[in-house]
A and B are shown apart, each in its own frame.
Chain A
Amino acid sequence: MSTSEVTWGIAQRSIILISRLPSAFFPSLVMPVFLTISFAGAFSGIVELPGFPAEKAIDWFLPMTTIQGAAFAGITTGMGVARDFESGFYDRFLASPASRSSLVAGSLLAATLRALAPLTLLTIVAVISGANLHAGAMTIVMLAIACLGIGLAAGAWAVGLALRFKSTQITPLMQSGMFLAVFLSTAQMPIDLLGGWLHDVARFNPMTNVLQLARQGFLGDVMWSTTWPGLLSLAGMCVVLVGFAYRGMQRVIP
């Protein structure tokens, strides 16, 4: 089998596993919807804050919860790899003549594709709940780029950890790593309204740029000046974390 065939085969298996083990994937679909409702409902009053850039709370929170959902969808791929190690199935992959890079690439492709599920669901929620799509279809395009990138980055982070620890016990670290990456940014408030230590951390967190990329169509027009920092940050995160996953694979001893 060629490298691309192995990659596609691994990705396909990971996607099929969603229907075979829905309980592992379901939370990454339900949680972002629930968080959207909770944040947009509970914090509806923050739009009254002088300098707050959104007309409705949902315009501010929905892109963040969609990205969070994409991240968790990506992580489920890493959880799958960890499960395969525990059951001994991954050892069979390692013993096969398939190239190791194609094994990683397959999982990362699956992580990216899995991010489409929360993206689709939250787009429907955005339309139903009357979120402002100021930039029309480009609003969703920008959100999709951010989600797919984060799905890949989160998947690489989780797969990298799974390859190092070979146990599902590492799941909390996979999740809390991405949780912190999202929430130590402008997830809840715009940078100008953040105070103290969180303002300083958010300023240097690449996720702030990714959120700006994802949110821009909900807040106003899509502009290059608010797009390129997000694209650059996504590229940086993907390069570092995909490298982390590949390095993990190089070190794996069956």
Chain B
Amino acid sequence: MSVAVAQYAALSRRSLLTTVRQPRAIIPPILFPLMFMALSSAAFDRTTQLPGFPQSESFLQFLICATIVQGALFASIASGSDMAHDIEEGFFDRLVASPVSRTSILVGRVFGSFVFGFFQAWFYFAVGLLFGLTVEGGLIGMFGVSLVAAMFAAGVASIASAFAIRTGSSEAVLGAFPLLFSLMFISGNFFPRSLMEGWFKTAATINPLTHMVEGMRAQVITGLDLGEWMSAFVIAAGFFVVGITLATMALKRRLAVAA
């Protein structure tokens, strides 16, 4: 294994362990979407009978992908906040002073979120299956959805890391949270666009997250659909490309200032 790969792996492992070993940091991002899923699928189950509602066995089947994306969003923002903590506490400076590759600082963090997002999606599927969820796409469908979730988690972690590197403040990272939270809610993620109206429907249609979740949802409610999956993956990858570009620029700027 080359030195660079070993460094990437070590920092990814550290990022993942930092998340997993802090119950206070890990439990709310996992539990809140789960709680919202339990409450909404019980409350809105009858809405699946509304004319225009996509053919679904239950509201849980409709909602599961939005829950997965919500979980990925929350956990990745927490990961960005950890990066800011590293800066606040001086660990980042120690990494910079060490002979470790500069890109591994970023890649380690982002890859840790990718892995966490992937397994978090499987966790939500497992809970859903316990409560009667049917996934028409089967195991391959779940794998595909988890892959999109992981890519999206890496994208959000990159965006959060860009904020963290730029500001060096975990509060600033958490302050950016409402922006992504709005993107999550003003969408067709929690209710079908066909049943919306007015400006909200327009905003939901413009929102790329709507199309990402709809592509993921197709694997769950209609079965394997490569076209839908590709569109979801491309959107998630788009978040990643934008995020990693911003984070790389922020890192270069910080390193230049430090030098």
B39 CB contact (under 8 Å) in A30, A44, A198 = A198
A194 CB contact (under 8 Å) in B43, B191, B195 = B43
| Interface pair A189/B185, CB less than 8 Å apart | no
| Interface pair A34/B195, CB less than 8 Å apart | no
Question: Is A240's beta carbon under 8 Å from chain B?
Answer: no
Between A42, A188, A196, the greatest number of chain B beta carbons within 10 A of the residue's beta carbon is seen for A42
A103 to chain B, nearest CB (A): 29
| Interface pair B46/A48, CB less than 8 Å apart | no
Between A38, A180, A196, the greatest number of chain B beta carbons within 10 A of the residue's beta carbon is seen for A38
Q: For chain A residues 45-67, which have a beta carbon within 8 Å of chain B?
A: 45-46, 48-49
| Interface pair A183/B39, CB less than 8 Å apart | yes
Question: Is A254's beta carbon under 8 Å from chain B?
Answer: no
A28 to chain B, nearest CB (A): 13
Question: Is B28's beta carbon under 8 Å from chain A?
Answer: yes
Question: Is A97's beta carbon under 8 Å from chain B?
Answer: no
Interface bits B89-122 vs A (CB < 8 Å: 1, else 0)? 0000000000000000000000000000000000
With a cutoff of 8 Å between Cβ atoms, the chain A residues found around residue B123 in the complex are none
Cα A42 to Cα B203 in complex, Å, equals 11
A41-B178 CB under 8 A given contacts A46-B44, A197-B42: no
Chain B interface SS verdict (over half): helix
Residue of A nearest to B40 (CB): A188
Between B42, B194, B195, the greatest number of chain A beta carbons within 10 A of the residue's beta carbon is seen for B42
Chain A interface SS verdict (over half): helix
Interface size counted on chain A using CB atoms at 8 A = 29
Q: For chain A residues 113-147, which have a beta carbon within 8 Å of chain B?
A: none
Cα A46 to Cα B237 in complex, Å, equals 33
A45-B43 CB under 8 A given contacts A34-B185, A169-B24: no
A44-B197 CB under 8 A given contacts A169-B24, A184-B39: yes
Question: Is A22's beta carbon under 8 Å from chain B?
Answer: no
Cα A184 to Cα B258 in complex, Å, equals 51
Q: For chain B residues 1-40, which have a beta carbon within 8 Å of chain A?
A: 24, 28, 35, 39-40
| Interface pair A44/B52, CB less than 8 Å apart | no
B200 CB contact (under 8 Å) in A42, A172, A184, A188 = A42
CB-CB nearest 7 A-B residue pairs: A45-B195, A41-B200, A198-B42, A188-B43, A38-B185, A189-B43, A42-B191
Residues of A near any B CB (own CB < 8 A): 23, 30, 34, 37-38, 41-46, 48-49, 169, 172, 179-180, 183-184, 187-189, 193-199
A43-B191, A45-B52, A189-B43 provided; 18 other pairs, C-beta below 8 A?
A38-B186, A41-B186, A41-B198, A41-B203, A41-B204, A42-B190, A44-B197, A45-B194, A46-B50, A46-B195, A49-B46, A49-B49, A180-B35, A184-B39, A188-B39, A188-B43, A198-B39, A198-B43
